[in-house]
Amino acid sequence: MSEETLRTLVEKYLKTEQAQYVFSWQGGEPLLMGLEFYKKVISFQVEFARQGSVIGNGIQSNGYLINDSWADFFSQAKFLVGISVDGPEELHNKFRIAPDGTNSFSLVMNAIKLLHKHNVTFNALTVVSSASAGKAKQIYQFLKGIGSDYHQYIPCVEYARGATRLPWTIDGKQWGHFLCDLFEIWINDSNRASIRLFDSIILVLLGRNPGICQMGTSCCQYFVIEHNGDVFPCDFFVRDSTLLGNIMSNDWQDFFDSKIYKNFGIKKSLWHPDCDRCQFVKFCAGDCQKHRISKIHLQKEKSVLCEGWKIFYKKTIPEFKKIANYLRSSAELQI
């Protein structure tokens, strides 16, 4: 991304009226832009911020390039860092193979060590692949062991043309049992980590916004700005058919008002008819559009993870309700 595009992006976004401004820096690998790029990010945010604005920055990285300079910057600039770590060495290295043969797990562990050294808040972003099936407890314990208190588990759902499941893709049943095992070790942990999915389920039960797009009934959630300024509604749907415009030539309101954006958002609630009869639809809302895979591109296809979500919710919702009721009662007592 050029400095001109970056400057325009920050300026136009901060001109909008928001309760909070959130920048999420992703790639590829966003650290390849270099440290000076992100120093410019901060300088532009300071230049264009409204008085009293709350601005947050998050960055998602594989951690390979993090050194003391990066970690110090993240600490000083209060970046929330998401580090990709898929579990113990044998699991992490299974599909994360560095081109030069370097042990990617060692690079990640060094990055986490530096983040701890500089008191940087970080989340563990764990891709749950076919290799992770049956290993939820092992992965959870490992993440806790490296000092991670915030976990995000992301199902690996990748299909080739013709709806052929790729070898690293986890299937619905595996995903469901993984989540059940994860819940079991989490619920019995006296010092529980924050698991984004579990937190969101509790928020739904409390009648609040879940905070993750897959659980929403609309996919009008955020904008993706590509390096050349092109704008899209979702990082899984960066396609010619979903191009909303360009940050260099369009105003922010143009993206909100775009028919393409609105139509894309509506598709989230056009789920399979069976979803209307499902007791768990309030939690998954038909799941992410990316997971509604069909050989004939049916708009109302079920998520390939549907069976797994049902296994998980059937087993755990009663316990989640107890947690929600406890939190509700505690809040009422404090009023």
| d(C-alpha 290, C-alpha 155), whole Å | 11
Burial of 253 (0-12, 13-18, 19+ CB in 10 A): exposed
Asked if 235 is an active-site residue, the reply is yes
Residue 140: partners with Cβ closer than 8 Å, 6 or more residues away: 151, 182, 185, 186, 193
Distances (CA, A) of 50 to 21, 28, 44: 11, 31, 12
Residue 226: partners with Cβ closer than 8 Å, 6 or more residues away: 232, 238
Distances (CA, A) of 223 to 245, 290, 294: 11, 16, 26
Distances (CA, A) of 243 to 186, 234, 247: 41, 10, 11
Identify the CA nearest to 134 among candidates 90, 85, 93, 170. Answer: 170
Q: Where are the alpha helices (DSSP H) in 217-285?
A: 252-257, 259-266, 273-276, 281-284
- DSSP type of residue 145: H
- DSSP type of residue 130: G
| d(C-alpha 287, C-alpha 270), whole Å | 11
Catalytic entry in 68, 189, 199, 235 = 235
Stated as kind and residue range, the H or E segment containing 178 is helix 172-187
DSSP 9-40: HHHHHHTS--SSEEEEE-SS-GGGG-HHHHHH
Structure tokens at 159: 């299909």
- Catalytically active residues are 235
